[in-house]
């Protein structure tokens, strides 16, 4: 499944310069820098992305 729309992080508000956007493509999660979209994106498996979000939520990062 491919989602055509990039979704900006809910933490990316106002004049923040550390914004990211995400979208899904097949079983991958794509992440890019909102301020530098032409630089490309990072690609993670669903499992890797879930582990990252879990670690972030627990304050492990």
pTM of the model: 0.75
Enumerate the domain spans of the chain. Answer: 7-57
User: What is d(CA 17, CA 58) in angstroms, rounded to the nearest whole number?
Assistant: 24
Cα–Cα dist 26/45, whole Å: 9
The alpha carbon dihedral of 42, 47, 51, 54 has a sign of: positive
Tens-of-pLDDT digits for all 61 residues of the chain?
A: 445 688 887 777 666 677 889 999 888 999 998 888 889 999 999 999 999 999 999 999 8
């Amino acid at each position: 499944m491919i989602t055509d729309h990039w979704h900006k992080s809910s933490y990316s508000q106002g004049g923040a310069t550390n914004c990211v956007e995400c979208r899904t493509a097949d079983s991958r999660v794509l992440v890019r820098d909102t301020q530098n979209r032409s630089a490309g994106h990072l690609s993670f498996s669903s499992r890797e992305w879930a582990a990252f979000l879990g670690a972030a939520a627990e304050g492990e990062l």
